[in-house]
A and B are shown apart, each in its own frame.
Chain A
C-alpha cells in the first residue's frame, strides 16, 4: 500500500525488499549487537531504570522468540490450532536433562538430539490433525499436554528425585577458542554463564531460527502451509499433499519448540514440576497473538512485550514519581502486575486484533499515504 510495486519474481522473493526495510534491518542488527555492551556499562540511568533486570528479560525473550516463531508457523501460517506447545518444551527439557545432565553430553550434541526428538514426536502428535480440524484439534492436543505433564513429573522423580532438574552451564569446545571475546578460564574451559555470554548464544539461536522460518515461509513448503491454512480441501485440489504438509508443519514447529526447551533450561539452569503448567501454552499464544498472528515480526515483538512489560511495571512502581506514592500498588505488587497485564491484553486485542505488528503496519500506512490518509 506504500506505492511501491514489485515487478519481478526475484524482487518478490527477496528477504529485504525496500530501502526503508534495509534501514530498519540494519538498525535492528546494530541495536542487537550493541545492546549487551550498553548493559555492561556501569552507569545509573535517570529514575533508577533497571538495566540489570532488563538484560535477564531480554535473554528470556530471546529464548521465547524461538518458541513463539515456531508456534506462529503452526498456528499463524498453517492454522493448526495446537495446544501441545508446552508438551514439546517439556520434551526438550527432558532430552536436555537426560543427555546433558544424566549422561553428561555436551550441549552441542544435546541440541540436535532434542530437535530430532521434537520433530519425530511432533509428527506423531500431528497425526490427529489429519482427522480433526479447528476446535476439535485444539481439544485433542489438550490430551497431549496432560500426558506429557505426567511423563515429565515421572521423569523428574526417576532421575532427579524430588528436587528440580539441574543443568550445568554449557561450554564452548576448545577448537573454537579463537573466536572474539572468548577468553578461556584458568582451567582452559569457556563456560557460557551469565547474561552477557548467554546473550550471544541466544541471539545466534534466535536469529538463525527466525531466518529458517522466514525461508520456509517463502519456499514451496511455506506456500503449501498457507494453502492448507486457507482450506485444506482446495489445497488438495491444486496438488498439495495435505497429509505431508500438515505433518511437516507439526514436525518443524515441534523441533524448534523442543530447542526452546533446551535453551530455556540451560539458561534458567533448573526446571521442576511447576515449570510447565498449562498457562505456559496460553502465554505463548499471548505472545504471538498480541504480537501479531501470521507474522514473524509479531513473534519477536510479542515475546519482547511479554517479558519487558512486567519489568517496566516494576520500574514504574518503584521509581516513577507519582505512581510511587500509591500505597495500594506497593502492597500488591505481583497482583497489580498480573491485572495490568491482563487488561493490556484485552485492550490490545479489542482495539486491534492484528496485534502490535498490526499497529506498526497501520502507523506505516498512515505515514506513507499522508496527507491523504484517512
Chain B
C-alpha cells in the first residue's frame, strides 16, 4: 500500500508535466494541423537552457523560467514565419518530416553547445522532502504540480477570454469563415506556435527539476505526449490535460510494479485500448466521413 501511495504521489507531478506537454502539442495540432515531432526536443532545449540559466548563471527561478519561456515563444514565432509558413497546405507527411528535420538540427545544436555528457537534475528550488502516510514526497514535486496547474489555468483563461484566443478558436472551427471575418490565419498560426513552444519551455524547465538526469534522451517525452493527447482526443484542449494526468498515473504505477522497461508499452497499451473503444479519444470530435 505504501508503494502504491508513493508511486501515485510521484505520478501526479509527472502527470502535470505530461499534461503541459500534451497541451502545447495539441494546441499546435489544433491550430495548424501540424503533428509536431519536434515538440519533445523543444522541451529538451528548454531543459538544457535551464541548466545554463538556473545552475551556471544562477538566476532566480522566476527570472530563469521567464527568459526561457519567452525565448522559446519567440523561437516558435520565428520558426513559423521562416519555415512553417511555407508548409501550409502541403502534404501532411512532408510537413511532419520538416519537424523531424528541426528535431535533428536542435539535437546537433545541443551537442555542439553542451556536449554529449549528461547533467544531473536541477536542484534549484528545494531539496526537502515530506512524509504522507509513509510515502516520501520531494517538496519540489508539489511546486511542479502547482506551477503546471497555474500555467494551464492561465492558458485556458487566455484561450477563453482574450481576443487572440477567440481568433484561434474561430480559425480551428472554420478557417474560411474566420478569414472572411477578417482574421489573419497566418498571425493565428504564428501565435499558436509561439504559445505551443512557450508551454514546451515551461514544461522543460519543470521537467528538469523532476527527471533523474538531463541528457539527449529527454526528447522521448515528446513521444509520450502522444498517448496523453490521443487519450483525450487530439483536438480537445481539456482532454489533453486529463489524458496527461491519467496516462502518467497509470504508467507510473504500472511500471513501478512490473518494471521500468514496460513504461512505454503500458502507456501505448492504454491508448490502444481507448482507441479500440472510442476511435477519436475521450473528448475528440468524431470525424465525418464524406464520400
Q: How far, in whole Å, are A139 and B37 apart by their CA atoms in the complex?
A: 12
Q: Point out the residue from A136, A150, A285, A345 that lies within 8 Å of B265, measured CB to CB.
A: A150
Q: How far, in whole Å, are A147 and B269 apart by their CA atoms in the complex?
A: 9
B269's nearest neighbour on chain A, judged by CB, is A143
At the interface with chain B, which of A43-51, A115-123, A328-336? A328-336
B100's nearest neighbour on chain A, judged by CB, is A282
User: What's the minimum C-beta distance from A180 to chain B, rounded to whole angstroms?
Assistant: 42
Judge whether B234 is part of the interface by a CB distance below 8 angstroms. Answer: yes
Judge whether B163 is part of the interface by a CB distance below 8 angstroms. Answer: no
Contacts of B227 in A (CB 8 A): 139, 142
Judge whether B91 is part of the interface by a CB distance below 8 angstroms. Answer: yes
A154's nearest neighbour on chain B, judged by CB, is B261
Q: B104-123, CB under 8 A of A: which get 1 and which 0?
A: 11011101100000000000
Judge whether A339 is part of the interface by a CB distance below 8 angstroms. Answer: yes
Judge whether B137 is part of the interface by a CB distance below 8 angstroms. Answer: no
Q: B77-120, CB under 8 A of A: which get 1 and which 0?
A: 00000010011001111111110111111011101100000000
Contacts of A142 in B (CB 8 A): 223, 226-227, 268, 271
Contacts of B100 in A (CB 8 A): 282, 285-286, 345
Contacts of A342 in B (CB 8 A): 101-105, 107-108
Q: Point out the residue from B94, B103, B276 that lies within 8 Å of A349, measured CB to CB.
A: B94
Contacts of A138 in B (CB 8 A): 35
Chain A contact patch, size range: 35 or more
Judge whether B57 is part of the interface by a CB distance below 8 angstroms. Answer: no
Contact assessment for B291 and A332 in the assembled complex, using a CB-CB cutoff below 8 Å: no
User: What's the minimum C-beta distance from B222 to chain A, rounded to whole angstroms?
Assistant: 11
Contacts of A341 in B (CB 8 A): 104
Q: A134-161, CB under 8 A of B: which get 1 and which 0?
A: 1110111011001101100100000000
Q: How far, in whole Å, are A290 and B93 apart by their CA atoms in the complex?
A: 11
Contacts of B93 in A (CB 8 A): 75, 81, 285, 289, 293
A339's nearest neighbour on chain B, judged by CB, is B108
Contacts of A231 in B (CB 8 A): 291
User: What's the minimum C-beta distance from B268 to chain A, rounded to whole angstroms?
Assistant: 3
Contacts of A143 in B (CB 8 A): 265, 268-269, 271-272
Judge whether B280 is part of the interface by a CB distance below 8 angstroms. Answer: yes
Contacts of B95 in A (CB 8 A): 349
Contact assessment for A136 and B97 in the assembled complex, using a CB-CB cutoff below 8 Å: no
Contact assessment for B275 and A136 in the assembled complex, using a CB-CB cutoff below 8 Å: yes
Contacts of B68 in A (CB 8 A): none
B96's nearest neighbour on chain A, judged by CB, is A285
User: What's the minimum C-beta distance from A229 to chain B, rounded to whole angstroms?
Assistant: 12
A135-B234, A150-B261, A285-B100 as given contacts; A237 in contact with B291, CB under 8 Å: yes
Judge whether B230 is part of the interface by a CB distance below 8 angstroms. Answer: yes
Judge whether A182 is part of the interface by a CB distance below 8 angstroms. Answer: no
Judge whether B279 is part of the interface by a CB distance below 8 angstroms. Answer: yes
Which secondary structure dominates chain B's binding surface?
helix
Judge whether B262 is part of the interface by a CB distance below 8 angstroms. Answer: yes
Q: B276-291, CB under 8 A of A: which get 1 and which 0?
A: 1001100000010101
Q: How far, in whole Å, are A149 and B87 apart by their CA atoms in the complex?
A: 33
A355's nearest neighbour on chain B, judged by CB, is B94
Q: Point out the residue from A81, A136, A147, A346 that lies within 8 Å of B98, measured CB to CB.
A: A346
Judge whether A374 is part of the interface by a CB distance below 8 angstroms. Answer: no
A153's nearest neighbour on chain B, judged by CB, is B261
Judge whether B176 is part of the interface by a CB distance below 8 angstroms. Answer: no
Contacts of B280 in A (CB 8 A): 136
B217's nearest neighbour on chain A, judged by CB, is A277
Contact assessment for A343 and B101 in the assembled complex, using a CB-CB cutoff below 8 Å: yes
Contact assessment for B35 and A135 in the assembled complex, using a CB-CB cutoff below 8 Å: yes
Q: How far, in whole Å, are A153 and B117 apart by their CA atoms in the complex?
A: 25
Q: Point out the residue from A128, A135, A150 that lies within 8 Å of B262, measured CB to CB.
A: A150
Contacts of A278 in B (CB 8 A): 223
Judge whether B264 is part of the interface by a CB distance below 8 angstroms. Answer: yes
Contacts of A136 in B (CB 8 A): 230, 234, 275, 279-280
Q: How far, in whole Å, are A290 and B97 apart by their CA atoms in the complex?
A: 9
Q: How far, in whole Å, are A346 and B96 apart by their CA atoms in the complex?
A: 10
A336's nearest neighbour on chain B, judged by CB, is B108
Q: A148-180, CB under 8 A of B: which get 1 and which 0?
A: 011001000000000000000000000000000
Contact assessment for B104 and A132 in the assembled complex, using a CB-CB cutoff below 8 Å: no
Contact assessment for B90 and A345 in the assembled complex, using a CB-CB cutoff below 8 Å: no
A286-B97, A335-B112 as given contacts; A233 in contact with B289, CB under 8 Å: yes
A-B contact list, 6 entries, CB within 8 Å = A136-B280, A289-B97, A336-B108, A342-B103, A343-B105, A353-B91
By a beta-carbon cutoff of 8 Å, the part of chain B in contact with chain A is 35, 37, 83, 86-87, 90-98, 100-105, 107-109, 111-112, 223, 226-227, 230, 234, 261-262, 264-265, 267-269, 271-272, 275-276, 279-280, 287, 289, 291
The 4 closest A-B pairs by CB, nearest first: A342-B104, A143-B268, A339-B108, A345-B101
By a beta-carbon cutoff of 8 Å, the part of chain A in contact with chain B is 75, 81, 128, 131-136, 138-140, 142-143, 146-147, 149-150, 153, 231, 233-234, 237, 278, 282, 285-286, 289-290, 293, 332, 334-336, 338-339, 341-343, 345-346, 349-350, 353
